[in-house]
Structure 1
Amino acid sequence: MASPIFISTRSEYFSIRIVLRSIELTLSTIYNSLINKEFYTTNNIYLFIKYLKLSVILYILLNGPQLILKVSIQYLSENGFVNFNQFEKLMKFEYFLKYFLNINIFIMSTISFFDQDLETLFLCNLKYQDLKNNQQNFENYLKLSSNYKLDSSKSWSKNVTDLLKFSREFKYFIKRYTNYFFLNCILFLSIEYLPERFTSLILGFISFQTFVDKVGTVLSLILVTILQMSNYHYTVLVITTFYGSWNLAEDLLIYYFNKIHFTTSEQNQWLNTRKGVLFGIGLVYYLLIQRFPLMSFIIYSNAFFNMGYFITKFSGEIPDNSKSLATWCITESLWDGHERFVDNLST
């Protein structure tokens, strides 16, 4: 485990300006993808219906039992069969599910490893951008071999086992969400069961460690002070939203990294030099999914679709052969195009 950071300067890759520009780009891209008639193909309409069905199914599975239990306990409480404390416990459990677990995003991201239609959406927009920009990302992407490819002849359980054995992206995905859920459980236990002074200390420490390497020591201390003066709920909301958005942004790159064979250090460097841009993208989609859970899979599929556009804004053209890829990965892992990204948002 990395040692805590106490003194740090502001990251050149993560600034309010970069994040705001990334949010602006994401919102305009969502709008353009919805009004562009060229995207309304038969296959894309079919996929829209598919993900609409999955959105409804996922919503019912996650919220149906909880709603039934809530109505039942409320009815029994009003008629004197159970005490009001049972209803309070249910509300606390509902609060935990909504703000700390975020299981719907984890489920959708897990499904993305098995659903090739999401990759089809990503490639659809990537191909469209190639036609606009006279590039060959789409064709060159298809030429590259995958780090791991599912075998449709195998059972679901066998494919999961193979993913855990051979897919670096899947193993990293499980590790990311394990750490995320573990952190969220610490936050929940802190605000619910620890004395106030310990809760304040733990939330302050986690908040500071979250932001110190991104906005610098001074600004981090100011943010922590503001959060410490607020209700614990807002501190938790900031922390869980930050890490949830970042996880979602990385989830949207699963297909890209499955084809582009970065080493672990190169991939970490690639992500680090683009963290402000990626966070803005992840934040928009994370908040949309949280706000409109009934449309979660529709929003998630749109995120994959638009990643086919985003990737052309902060990554170079994919080489046309695997021999050139190794050298390209070394140079591509470092990105200094932030100013161009911020100043040029024409879509």
Structure 2
Amino acid sequence: MPNLILQQLAELDAATWDALVPAAQPFLRHAFLHSLEASGSVSRHTGWLPMHQVQRNAQGQLVAAFPAYVKTHSFGEYVFDQGWADACERAGIDYYPKLLCAVPFSPVGGARLLGDAGAVAQLLDQATDELFDRGLSGMHVNFTDEAADSVLRGRDGWMERLGCQFHWRNEGYRDFQDFLDRLSSRKRKQMRKEREQVAGQGIEFVWYRGGELSEAQWDFVYACYANTYAVRRRAPYLTREFFSLLAEGMPEAIRVVMAVQGGREVAMAFSLVGGDSLYGRYWGCLAEFDRLHFETCFYQGMDFAIAEGLQRFDAGAQGEHKLIRGFEPVITRSWHYLLHPGLRSAVEDFLAQERVGVLGYAEGARSALPFRQV
């Protein structure tokens, strides 16, 4: 059965799409992806043209799907292939547009290929078979889970790329002090001092669920988020409307912690909860406060995970500064299918060398972890 293309997720009702999404995957939910589109954060204008792939069986039931976008750039992906694009430009090869299966602006591992494995494989093959006719250079699937890896691994033409992130695990800690007790003396004193420096500035923290924030507070959240881009002279990926739409569509998954000084909100961190995990996504502050970033983005999330019995805290991509705060290296995977044989061969050689480097880096990074040697 041929696959169908959705130019917007609104063409499919939420219950039908979400029936294929694992319960612990907030970023794949209809409400999240639809909020990106309905807010204008994702569109042809922003270089993210939706081309979601779906397949129904003979009875009309949805059996396989994956979110997909035609990309005219590589921004907002966090699997950095700009070097491949630059090489193509020098060689006179068109790298853009390309087809991307991913969650826009969210370097979070999880489900990507949804539904029955056999139907998913067929849907994937149909998508790659149509690349040339659609004028696309290739297809990419970013930050996959084991289910997607099992479909893609060994599949003709697909190449695996490794990356490294840093995640914190809750080892059944009773409280933050219980976590500190597992650290070396020097690292324990450093973290305690950082937290004391924030408290000494009269800053307290209040946690909210998505439905508990006023529109004025969402204005503040957005101002903080946008400021993180403004200081780098870049436009933010997300629009203000996205946050209101998401708060309406999936408020139970949203967590926002506000840093408050003298009754005034001065910083925030925005997260989502899914399954046993807390996903820290956006942070911002409209004034400078010593050590506030570490407290708001890391220690508050760790405190929250312990209190809520969550097992994992993914605080976002990159950031070696996470290592000394107990965030351990985790290998991530993405998959790439390129039509041009010369490009495919060059990338394959590059990935083989990069793989050795990434695995070596992740192993070496463990030496920077703050835990006491047993």
Q: Same fold (TM over 0.5)?
A: no
Structure-1-length-normalised TM-score: 0.27
Q: 1 or 2, which has the higher helix percentage?
A: 1
Q: Which has the higher contact order (CA 8 A, sep 6+)?
A: 1
Q: 1 or 2, which has the higher strand percentage?
A: 2
